[in-house]
Amino acid sequence: MAKTMMEKVEAHFSKEFYEGSWRFRGTQFLRMTSYGTRDLFVLVHFSCGYGWVKAKVFADDYGIPESVRMFAGDTAAEDCIRWAASKAVEVFETVSARTEPYKDGMMKYKMALQGGSV
Protein backbone atom coordinates (compact mmCIF):
# COMPACT_ATOMS: atom_id res chain seq x y z
CA MET A 1 0.00 0.00 0.00
CA ALA A 2 1.30 3.45 -0.89
CA LYS A 3 2.34 5.71 1.95
CA THR A 4 0.87 9.14 2.32
CA MET A 5 3.08 12.21 2.45
CA MET A 6 2.45 12.46 6.22
CA GLU A 7 3.57 8.85 6.76
CA LYS A 8 6.76 9.36 4.71
CA VAL A 9 7.74 12.53 6.57
CA GLU A 10 6.91 10.99 9.94
CA ALA A 11 9.00 7.89 9.13
CA HIS A 12 11.95 10.07 8.09
CA PHE A 13 11.79 12.23 11.22
CA SER A 14 11.34 9.16 13.42
CA LYS A 15 14.43 7.53 11.93
CA GLU A 16 16.45 10.73 12.31
CA PHE A 17 15.19 11.23 15.88
CA TYR A 18 15.93 7.71 17.13
CA GLU A 19 18.96 6.77 15.02
CA GLY A 20 20.64 10.13 14.35
CA SER A 21 23.53 11.62 16.24
CA TRP A 22 22.70 14.13 18.97
CA ARG A 23 24.89 16.90 20.37
CA PHE A 24 24.93 17.78 24.04
CA ARG A 25 24.84 21.51 24.86
CA GLY A 26 24.71 22.36 28.55
CA THR A 27 21.40 20.99 29.76
CA GLN A 28 19.90 19.63 26.56
CA PHE A 29 20.55 17.39 23.57
CA LEU A 30 20.16 18.89 20.08
CA ARG A 31 19.45 17.33 16.69
CA MET A 32 18.96 19.13 13.35
CA THR A 33 17.36 17.40 10.39
CA SER A 34 15.64 18.34 7.17
CA TYR A 35 13.22 16.83 4.72
CA GLY A 36 12.34 17.79 1.19
CA THR A 37 13.46 18.05 -2.38
CA ARG A 38 16.05 20.17 -4.14
CA ASP A 39 13.74 23.22 -4.34
CA LEU A 40 11.53 22.70 -1.30
CA PHE A 41 12.74 21.59 2.12
CA VAL A 42 11.91 22.08 5.77
CA LEU A 43 14.51 22.26 8.53
CA VAL A 44 13.56 20.78 11.90
CA HIS A 45 15.46 21.34 15.14
CA PHE A 46 14.74 18.75 17.85
CA SER A 47 15.91 19.32 21.41
CA CYS A 48 15.29 17.35 24.57
CA GLY A 49 16.08 17.53 28.22
CA TYR A 50 14.94 15.85 31.38
CA GLY A 51 11.21 15.19 30.94
CA TRP A 52 10.60 17.21 27.77
CA VAL A 53 11.08 17.20 24.00
CA LYS A 54 10.83 20.27 21.77
CA ALA A 55 10.63 20.75 18.00
CA LYS A 56 11.16 23.89 15.93
CA VAL A 57 10.10 23.82 12.29
CA PHE A 58 11.87 26.43 10.16
CA ALA A 59 10.40 27.60 6.85
CA ASP A 60 11.66 31.19 6.78
CA ASP A 61 12.86 30.85 3.17
CA TYR A 62 9.23 30.59 2.10
CA GLY A 63 7.85 33.49 4.14
CA ILE A 64 6.34 31.17 6.76
CA PRO A 65 7.24 31.88 10.40
CA GLU A 66 8.87 29.18 12.50
CA SER A 67 6.68 26.91 14.62
CA VAL A 68 7.77 25.77 18.07
CA ARG A 69 6.13 23.29 20.42
CA MET A 70 7.26 21.51 23.58
CA PHE A 71 6.00 18.09 24.73
CA ALA A 72 6.21 16.26 28.04
CA GLY A 73 5.00 12.90 29.27
CA ASP A 74 5.35 9.25 28.34
CA THR A 75 4.59 9.74 24.64
CA ALA A 76 6.42 13.06 24.23
CA ALA A 77 8.86 11.82 21.58
CA GLU A 78 6.18 10.25 19.39
CA ASP A 79 3.89 13.27 19.77
CA CYS A 80 6.75 15.63 18.93
CA ILE A 81 7.70 13.68 15.79
CA ARG A 82 4.06 13.51 14.67
CA TRP A 83 3.61 17.27 15.23
CA ALA A 84 6.83 18.14 13.36
CA ALA A 85 5.78 15.94 10.45
CA SER A 86 2.34 17.55 10.29
CA LYS A 87 3.90 21.04 10.28
CA ALA A 88 6.33 20.00 7.53
CA VAL A 89 3.48 18.66 5.40
CA GLU A 90 1.56 21.87 6.05
CA VAL A 91 4.53 23.89 4.75
CA PHE A 92 4.84 21.65 1.67
CA GLU A 93 1.13 22.04 0.89
CA THR A 94 1.21 25.82 1.42
CA VAL A 95 4.23 26.36 -0.80
CA SER A 96 2.97 23.95 -3.47
CA ALA A 97 -0.39 25.73 -3.62
CA ARG A 98 1.40 29.07 -3.76
CA THR A 99 3.74 28.12 -6.62
CA GLU A 100 1.47 25.89 -8.76
CA PRO A 101 0.13 28.69 -11.00
CA TYR A 102 3.69 29.87 -11.78
CA LYS A 103 5.35 26.63 -12.89
CA ASP A 104 5.61 28.08 -16.43
CA GLY A 105 7.64 31.21 -15.73
CA MET A 106 10.78 30.61 -13.65
CA MET A 107 11.01 34.17 -12.26
CA LYS A 108 7.37 34.19 -11.15
CA TYR A 109 7.89 30.73 -9.66
CA LYS A 110 10.95 31.83 -7.64
CA MET A 111 9.11 34.91 -6.33
CA ALA A 112 6.09 32.82 -5.31
CA LEU A 113 8.37 30.28 -3.65
CA GLN A 114 9.70 33.00 -1.37
CA GLY A 115 6.22 34.34 -0.60
CA GLY A 116 6.46 37.48 -2.72
CA SER A 117 3.67 38.74 -4.92
CA VAL A 118 4.03 38.82 -8.67
> With b meaning 16 or more CB within 10 Å and e meaning fewer, what string describes 43-67?
bbbbbbeeeebbbbbbbeebebeeb
Nearest to 41 by CA among 99, 112, 89, 4: 89
The pLDDT score that the predictor gives to residue 88 is: 93
Each domain of the chain, given as residue ranges in start order, spans: 5-113
Q: How far is CA 94 from CA 37, 46, 88, 89, in A?
A: 15, 22, 10, 9
pLDDT digits (tens, 9 = 90+) for 76-92: 999 999 999 999 999 99
pLDDT digits (tens, 9 = 90+) for 3-52: 788 999 999 999 999 998 999 999 999 999 999 877 788 999 999 999 99
* Residues whose CB falls within 8 Å of the CB of residue 37, separated by 6 or more in sequence, listed in order: none
The pLDDT score that the predictor gives to residue 98 is: 83
- On the question of pLDDT at 1 being above 50, the answer is no
Q: pTM of the full predicted structure?
A: 0.82
